[in-house]
A and B are shown apart, each in its own frame.
Chain A
Amino acid sequence: MSTIALPTRLLAANFARDRIALLSFWLLAALLFCALAAPWLAPQNPYDLAQLDILDAKLAPGVKSSAGSTYWLGTDDQGRDMLSAILYGLRISLGVGITSTVLALALGVISGMTAARAGGWIDGLIMRIVDLQLSFPAILVALILLALTGQGIDRIILALVVVQWAYYARTVRAAALVELKKEYVEAAVCMGVAGLRILLRHVLPNVLPPVMVVATVQIAQAIALEATLSFLGLGLPITEPSLGLLIANGYAHLLSGKYWISFFPGLALLVTIVAINLVGDRLRDLLNPRLR
């Protein structure tokens, strides 16, 4: 039956029984807070060139700046405080990951439901597109799209939506087909409920929760993919540096032993991705009726 019927409090209590998942949840909450509050938390605005001091370039973590404050995570080649850069980068990475996943989910749900309801050649067409797209690795599709459209935050979100939607479309279609055959839908049809209303009010609430759990984990995938594309120089422009771009910047200095410029942004990326994965896994386990 519907997983949404589970009272939220029961779900929360069950969730909290796994210590690691609970820890990840709070960690994730903290990361989200840091990302949202970056302008107030960060010691400096890393993209206001007036605040940067080139004399402070490439300082090791913990070294005091010429102005007296401490660079806890060191500075990059332009004298930018890495801690501030990471906080701002986290903001962009999380923003891009969440936005693209939500948009892809919406597109996937709409096309999956349409395919399931319409059937016939519309179904065939949508599913062939999905098949075609899923037969290529996400990174290749995203890479090509970005090569075609150029850089920019809107372009990368578009690319991430394109690589993710097909997966949701397939899942939603399969789930909707199962639901559409059930008795409550038949009952609703007999009562003369309009077709669209059946889809939105009866089928959708039963189809959505499992897909949303998958989407939680997909946010981590989207963040990792964005970081990878930015690292390759095809993602975000230098004016909007995500964690991936910060890592790429530090890459040039890695061989001279200045590890912190890429290491700490990478660590932030890793912690974010692991935390999202652990929370998502736990949610999936809780909501999966087979494992309960």
Chain B
Amino acid sequence: MLRRLAWSAATLLVMSLLVFAGVYAIGNPVELLINPQADQAEIARATALLGLDRPLWEQYWMFFRGALGGDLGVSFAASVPAITLILERMPATLELALAAMLIAVGIGIPLGLLAGLRPHSWLARTIMTLSTLGFALPTFWVGLLLIMVFSVQLGWLPTTGRGATVDVFGIPLSIFTADGLRHLLLPATTLALFKLALLVRLTRAGTQDAMLQDYVRYARAKGLSECAVVRSHVMPNILIPIVTVAGLELGSLIAFAIVTETVFAWPGMGKLLIDSINVLDRPVIVAYLLATVSLFILINLLVDLLYAVLDPRVQAGDAR
């Protein structure tokens, strides 16, 4: 466990160095930020104000010291601390990612189970064909198709934005209002599709494997109904790897939300990243990356702990 934590901290440090060096090597944000008619003195003043006239390592050191105290610099464009911008947008992204994961798990596992129990039925084949399609469809194009059908042609659902939100413990959430849910449905479905296809495959493979095991034969020999065999013998065994993958994929959902958020103009941190890249808002880019990396590391740790709870054979201490 300690080793895991040390590795996580090292990852974070290396990433911050890489990202910082990379991000600060591109372009000159001063040119974008101030009036093009500004004279030399004004440019120099702006550069000094942003700390851009100092050597790179000094800028990193200032950044590093600030980062330890939770200060990731001030957004060049918005003049607000970058971390504030990220934290403002984070709930929207997390909500979207979690909703997508819920859809993927809620539909993917039952479908995979169906396909795995009767691998040669037409239903299983249809499910598998659809899952291949789900793998192949580029996320952003699915989003466009959904907008085209449900918003433009049928007019059932709104195209963009987040809709009405309700504050829960001071965090604005869409899932508790009807309008918010209507806004959430299309982006979450779009984002879920790829993971859904993945979970169908995983569950199917796991089920097929499990059905051939001795414990299933034994359970049947005891006279248990097929339903009981699946519920109390197959499910617990296949759920372990599935939960692991689902957990780890949550991180990639957060990353892929960048695309979905852009298509649906969902005000999350992914859209913030794209906007910041376009105006070279370095502190926000760095803050986004560090926030995302920290989220990933946190998710990995949580998955490890969950794994130990689900599978009594694994003790958290043994995991290296």
Which A residues are within 8 Å of any B CB, using their own CB?
A: 132, 135-137, 139-140, 143-144, 147-150, 220, 224, 227-228, 231-234, 244, 247, 251, 254-255, 257, 259, 262-263, 266, 269-270, 273-274, 277-278, 281
Contact = CB atoms under 8 A, between A and B. Distances in A.
Contact of B255 (A139, A220, A233): A139
B23 A148 contact: yes
A50 to B, nearest CB: 31
A263 B147 CA distance: 12
Given A247-B140, A247-B144, A144 B14 contact: no
B66 to A, nearest CB: 21
Contact of A228 (B140, B273, B296): B140
Contact of A274 (B23, B132, B144): B132
B9 to A, nearest CB: 13
Contacts of B140: 227-228, 231-232, 244, 247
B256 interface: yes
Contacts of A224: 136, 138
B289 interface: yes
List the 7 shortest-distance A-B pairs measured between CB atoms, nearest first. Answer: A137-B255, A137-B252, A266-B141, A140-B255, A273-B136, A147-B277, A274-B136
Interface string B240-258: 0000000000011001101
Interface in B117-172: 132-133, 135-141, 144-145, 147-148, 151-152, 159
B104 interface: no
Nearest to B194: A224
B258 A247 contact: no
A254 B136 contact: no
Contacts of A220: 136
Q: Which of A136, A140, A232, A263 has the most CB of B within 10 A?
A: A140
A153 B252 CA distance: 26
A278 B255 contact: no
Given A137-B252, A147-B285, 17 more contacts: A137-B251, A137-B255, A137-B256, A139-B259, A140-B292, A143-B258, A144-B289, A148-B23, A227-B140, A231-B259, A232-B258, A234-B274, A254-B147, A255-B151, A263-B145, A269-B138, A274-B133
B148 A259 contact: yes
Nearest to A141: B255
B3 to A, nearest CB: 13
Contacts of B273: 143
Contacts of A139: 255-256, 258-259
Contacts of B255: 136-137, 139-140
Contacts of B133: 274
Contact of B141 (A257, A270, A274): A270
A148 B138 contact: no
Contact of B11 (A135, A148, A244): A135
Contacts of B144: 247, 251, 254, 262-263, 266
A265 B220 CA distance: 52
Contacts of A257: 152
A277 B132 contact: yes
A101 B159 CA distance: 36
A94 to B, nearest CB: 15
27 contacts: A137-B252, A139-B255, A139-B256, A139-B258, A143-B277, A147-B26, A147-B285, A150-B26, A227-B138, A231-B140, A231-B259, A232-B140, A232-B274, A233-B278, A234-B274, A247-B140, A251-B144, A251-B263, A254-B147, A254-B152, A259-B148, A262-B144, A266-B141, A269-B141, A270-B137, A273-B136, A273-B138
A137 B141 CA distance: 19
Contacts of B15: 132
A247 B151 CA distance: 18
B25 interface: yes
B136 A132 contact: no
Contact of A136 (B25, B132, B296): B296
B19 interface: yes
B22 interface: yes
A101 B117 CA distance: 37
B262 interface: yes
Contacts of B278: 233
B22 A148 contact: yes
A252 B274 CA distance: 17
Interface string B1-33: 000000000010011000100110110000000
A285 to B, nearest CB: 13
Contacts of B22: 144, 148
B26 A148 contact: yes
Interface in B262-302: 262-263, 273-274, 277-278, 285, 289, 292-293, 296, 300
Residue picked from A137, A139, A281, most chain B C-beta under 10 Å? A137
A259 to B, nearest CB: 5
Contacts of B263: 251
Contacts of B296: 135-136
Contact of B148 (A135, A150, A234, A263): A263
Contacts of A269: 138, 141
Contacts of B26: 147-150
B139 A228 contact: yes
Contacts of A273: 136-138
Contacts of B285: 147
Contacts of B141: 227, 247, 262, 266, 269-270
Given A137-B252, A255-B159, A232 B259 contact: yes
A265 B188 CA distance: 24
B136 A277 contact: yes
Given A147-B277, A148-B26, A254-B148, A277 B262 contact: no
